[in-house]
Structure 1
Amino acid sequence: MQKHWNLLCIGVFVLFLAACAPESPQHFFEQAVLNTNLVNDFDPKSFGRTLEQNTIEYPDIPSSKKKGDEAQEVVKMKILTSERALENIKKLSANDDETKAIKENSIALFEMVIPVYKNEYMQYAKLCDTKGSAEEKAAILTKIEQNYAPKVYQQLDALYQKGKVYAEKNDIEVNWGR
C-alpha cells in the first residue's frame, strides 16, 4: 500500500512540474504565429470563392446535391477553430518584451477577424447557400476588402516580421511561403 502511495505522490509531483514548466520557444511559436495560418485565406476573393464552391451542385452528379447550409458550415468551422486558437494564445506565457509583443499581436489579429467571420462572412455564406444575388454578395466582399482586409494584412505582416526574428533567434526552422 505504501509503495502505491509513493508512486501516486511521485506521479502527481511529475505532473505538477510538467504543468508549471514554461512553453518551449517552438510551442510558443506554433501557437502564436503558425496558428495564424487559419486566417491566411481571409482575403475576400479567396474565401468568397471557397464559400461559393461549397454550394455548387452538378445535375449529373447526385452526390453533389447540397443541404443548403454548406457555406455557413464552412464559416462556422472557421469561427470555431479561430476561437480555439485565440483561447490557446491567451494561455501562453509571455516572459519578455518579445514574446509579449508577439502574443499581443496574435491576439489582436484573431480578435479582429473573428467578428468579421461571424458577421460579414456569415451573411455572405447565407447568400451563397440561398443563391442570393451577385450584387449583394459583391457588396459584402467589397466591404470586407475595404474596411477590414487592410488592417488584417497589416496585423499579419507585423506578426510575421516579429515571428521571423523570434524563429531565427530560437533556431526554429520555418518555410514562410509568402
Structure 2
Amino acid sequence: MKNKTLIFTLFISMIAVLSSCNTPSADEFFQRTVLNTNILHDFAQESFTRTLTATMVTHQGLPAGQDQQNQAQQIVEAKIAYIEQTISRIEDMTPPDDDAGAIKGKALALYHYVLPVYKKEYMDIATRCDNKEDPEAIEQLAFALEEKYGEGFENLYLDVLDLGKAYAEKHNLNVKFGN
C-alpha cells in the first residue's frame, strides 16, 4: 500500500512540474503576446507596400548572380513564418493569471486576422513586385488592402495594447509604450 501511495504522489508531482513548465512568468507572457505584435506594426500601411515595391529597383554594379530573385516574396514569407511560429508559441502557453487569458485570446485573434492576408493579398502583391508589374496597379491593390483590413487590424491591435498596458502596470513590468 505504501508503494502505491508513493508512486501516486510521484506521478502527481511530475504532472504538476510538467504543467508548470508551460506557464511563463508575467514578463515572458507579456513579451510573447504583446511585444511580439511589433512585427505587425506596418500591416495595412503604405510603409509595408514601399518595402515590397523597393525590391523592384534594379541595382547597377552588382556582380553577376547577386541580383536576388523573389525578394518581395521572401519578405512576406518571413513575416508569415514568424507569425505562424508566434501563434504556435502563444497557443502552447498557459496564461499565468486571468488577465493573461484575455490577452492571449486577443493576441491570437490579431495574429489569426493578419495571417491569411499575408498569405493571400500580400503574397499576391509581392509576386507582382518580383515580376516587376505595373507599380500603379500594385499601389491600387495595396490601397484596397489597407481600406479593407486597416480598421479591423487597428481595433484588434489597440485591444491587445490596452490590455497589455494594464497588465504591465499590474505586474510592475518595465515597459514604455510609444504614442
| Band of TM-score, shorter chain | 0.7 to 0.9
Q: 5 Å matches for 1:88-107?
A: 88-94=89-95, 96-107=97-108
Q: After TM superposition, give the deviation of residue 98 of structure 1 in Å.
A: 1.7
CA–CA distance in structure 2, aligned partners of residues 69 and 99 of structure 1: 39
User: Does the 8 Å CA contact 2:32/2:90 hold for their aligned counterparts?
Assistant: yes
Q: After TM superposition, give the deviation of residue 65 of structure 1 in Å.
A: 4.7
Rate the CA distance shift 1:106–1:64 in 2: closer, same or farther, 3 A: farther
User: What's the counterpart of residue 8 of structure 1?
Assistant: none
User: Does the 8 Å CA contact 1:71/1:125 hold for their aligned counterparts?
Assistant: yes
CA–CA distance in structure 2, aligned partners of residues 65 and 149 of structure 1: 36
> Structure 2 regions of 5+ residues with no counterpart?
1-12
CA–CA distance in structure 2, aligned partners of residues 70 and 111 of structure 1: 24
Q: 5 Å matches for 1:124-139?
A: 124-139=125-140
User: What's the counterpart of residue 149 of structure 1?
Assistant: 150
CA–CA distance in structure 1, aligned partners of residues 76 and 148 of structure 2: 19
Q: Write out the 4+ residue segments of structure 1 that deviate beyond 6 Å after TM superposition.
A: none
Query: What's the Cα RMSD here?
Result: 2.3
User: Does the 8 Å CA contact 2:106/2:156 hold for their aligned counterparts?
Assistant: yes
CA–CA distance in structure 2, aligned partners of residues 159 and 168 of structure 1: 14
CA–CA distance in structure 2, aligned partners of residues 97 and 106 of structure 1: 15
Q: Is 1:72 matched up with 2:73?
A: yes
CA–CA distance in structure 1, aligned partners of residues 64 and 151 of structure 2: 39
User: What's the counterpart of residue 20 of structure 1?
Assistant: 20
Q: After TM superposition, give the deviation of residue 64 of structure 1 in Å.
A: 9.2
User: Does the 8 Å CA contact 1:79/1:114 hold for their aligned counterparts?
Assistant: yes
CA–CA distance in structure 2, aligned partners of residues 125 and 37 of structure 1: 21
User: Does the 8 Å CA contact 2:33/2:104 hold for their aligned counterparts?
Assistant: yes
Q: After TM superposition, give the deviation of residue 17 of structure 1 in Å.
A: 2.6
Identical columns (%)? 32
Q: After TM superposition, give the deviation of residue 92 of structure 1 in Å.
A: 1.7
> Structure 1 regions of 5+ residues with no counterpart?
1-12
Q: 5 Å matches for 1:1-178?
A: 17=17, 20-21=20-21, 22-62=23-63, 65-94=66-95, 96-178=97-179
Which residue identity lines up with residue 55 of structure 1 in the other structure?
M
Q: After TM superposition, give the deviation of residue 143 of structure 1 in Å.
A: 1.6
Question: Which secondary structure does the structure 2 equivalent of 1:46 belong to?
Answer: helix
Under a length normalisation based on structure 1, what TM-score does the superposition of the two structures give?
0.84
The number of residues matched between the two structures is 167
Question: Which secondary structure does the structure 2 equivalent of 1:148 belong to?
Answer: helix
User: What's the counterpart of residue 3 of structure 1?
Assistant: none
Which residue identity lines up with residue 126 of structure 1 in the other structure?
T
User: Does the 8 Å CA contact 2:44/2:149 hold for their aligned counterparts?
Assistant: no
